[in-house]
Structure 1
Amino acid sequence: MKRIIAGVALSFLLVTAAKAGVVVGGTRVIYEEGKREASISVTNADTHTPYLVQSWAENFNENDKRPVPFIVTPPLFRLDPEKRNMLRISFTGMELPHDRESVFWLNVKTISPSQKGDVNKLQVNIKSKFKIFYRPSDLAGAPEKAWQQLQFHTTGNQLVVNNPTPYYVSLFSVSVAGKEVDEPGMVAPMSSLTWPISGSGTVKWRAINDFGGITDVAQQ
């Protein structure tokens, strides 16, 4: 029953997002140290409806109350039908680790207009989150190969993955002996992640690359 409810909720979300007509040109932002800014496009694919677009950056951990070292411009703007604008992300300066990536959130909220006299109609607000990866210069290894260097082992009824690289690896899928791990998530640089499993066997995994694409399958 829970799966059915979750499926219905997801379907509603996807339909709502499709009707909104605002498309963000990417799934993540890579901010390389020393660059003046990073950017990502926002397009209104709707042929009739303008939208307000609000954007801001925040810490990846909601309990982290430190100032966010990024500003997004423009923070609020009107996006007319079939028009595109660029969100520009600038680093304001903050002491971040030099030996590994850091991650933050980019929030993009779209607000549909309410027509005059439509007081009883729902105004659609959609908030999407995209990862911002701050990548220091001169990190060891190649970021596009980090996913291949993951190391898996089992401990009791847990599968453990170790990431020895200085890069975040976002996992698209992980399976053990053909059984998929639910919501594999992301493993931080020089850190490990664990999942409960009920068996053992060959581990296969795929990751999400810098461009939002899915990698080939690796196995161990």
Structure 2
Amino acid sequence: MKLPAYLKAGAVALCLASSVVHATGMVPETSVVIVEADDGEGAINIKNTDSFPVLLTTTLENIPQDTEELLVVTPPAARVEPGKSQRVRFMLSSKEPLKTERLKRVIFEGIPPQQQNKNEVRMTVRQNLPVIIRPAGLAKSDAPWEQLSWKLDSNSLTVNNPSPYVVRLGQAVQTLPDNSTWSLPHTYVLPGQTLTLELDGQRKPGASKQVRISPATTWGFTVNSYDASLTP
């Protein structure tokens, strides 16, 4: 026998109400990890904001475009007491000098202790952050997105990054003044990389002279939108 929709909803609500759900609160001090080759390492503090101890695990991930293993993380797992912080270090393991910035990802996961004989669910929460590895001697750039080269050819919009910097930005890009919206395949443009954007919707783009992007600095700060010129 099929239950009416409102009865199904009520049953689900009762199930949810029968237990208390808590989420772990492992909070990184910054939104990006920077590893300087000049120092040979980088570090970040992760704070346990919950009222119980948590097992913090740290896992490095490669992006699809760069699978070279360049870092070692320590500690890979650590118990963090309530209100305390754990410092996680990222040590450069590459034997060859880096020529450009490199991009990796790191996942911080807080695993709460199991509660026996309690009607309680504690959820594991993950923090997935970018890791930028900077070559020795590379000058800092506060606006690396200004070096991107944008080109609109018929219905195709491409972007090229001739610089040694990783440029992070929102996936939505707008051409001006026709106000067409385009989508990047991911939220970064690597050094030397050329990407082709997809046009959102069925409307054919009109004549445009600029693109509007939403970039982020290397150190994780968001900035106002930036308008770049289209190259002929």
Please tell me the TM-score bracket, short chain as reference. 0.7 to 0.9
The Cα RMSD (Å) is 2.5
Contact 1:56 1:71 in 2 (8 A): no
The 3 A distance-change label for structure 1 pair 114 and 24 is same
5 Å-filtered alignment, 1:128-207, equals 128-139=127-138, 142-172=140-170, 173-177=172-176, 178-182=179-183, 185-197=187-199, 198-200=204-206, 201=208, 202-207=210-215
Contact 1:24 1:42 in 2 (8 A): yes
CA distance in 2, matches of 1:132, 1:23: 16
SS state at 2:30 partner: coil
Aligned to 1:211: 219
Q: Which runs of 5+ in 2 are unaligned?
A: 1-21
Q: For 2:205, give the aligned amino acid.
A: G
The 3 A distance-change label for structure 1 pair 71 and 214 is same
Match of 1:26 among 27, 30, 33: 30
Aligned-residue offset at 1:87: 0.8
Aligned-residue offset at 1:108: 1.1
Q: For 2:107, give the aligned amino acid.
A: N
Q: For 2:93, give the aligned amino acid.
A: T
Q: For 2:214, give the aligned amino acid.
A: R
Q: Does 1:35 align with 2:39?
A: yes
Aligned to 1:51: 54
CA distance in 2, matches of 1:39, 1:117: 39
Q: For 2:130, give the aligned amino acid.
A: K
CA distance in 2, matches of 1:181, 1:142: 29
Contact 1:157 1:196 in 2 (8 A): no
Aligned to 1:11: none
Contact 1:114 1:121 in 2 (8 A): no
Deviates more, 1:187-196 or 1:121-130: 121-130
- Which TM-score applies when normalising by structure 1? 0.78
Greater Cα radius of gyration, structure 1 or 2 = 2
- Which TM-score applies when normalising by structure 2? 0.75
Which deviations, in whole Å up to 9, do the C-alpha atoms of 1:76-103 show, x marking residues without a partner?
Answer: 111121111111111123336x331122
After superposing on structure 2, the runs of 4+ consecutive aligned residues of structure 1 that deviate more than 3 Å are 120-123, 177-184
Which deviations, in whole Å up to 9, do the C-alpha atoms of 1:121-163 show, x marking residues without a partner?
Answer: 5452233322221211233x64223111211111232211111
Aligned-residue offset at 1:164: 1.4
Aligned-residue offset at 1:203: 1.1
CA distance in 2, matches of 1:166, 1:91: 18
Q: For 2:195, give the aligned amino acid.
A: L
Q: Which runs of 5+ in 1 are unaligned?
A: 1-17
Q: What is the aligned-residue identity percentage? A: 25
SS state at 1:143 partner: coil
Aligned-residue offset at 1:209: 0.7
Contact 1:171 1:205 in 2 (8 A): yes
Q: For 2:192, give the aligned amino acid.
A: M
Aligned-residue offset at 1:110: 1.3
The 3 A distance-change label for structure 1 pair 136 and 62 is closer
CA distance in 2, matches of 1:34, 1:211: 17
Aligned length: 197
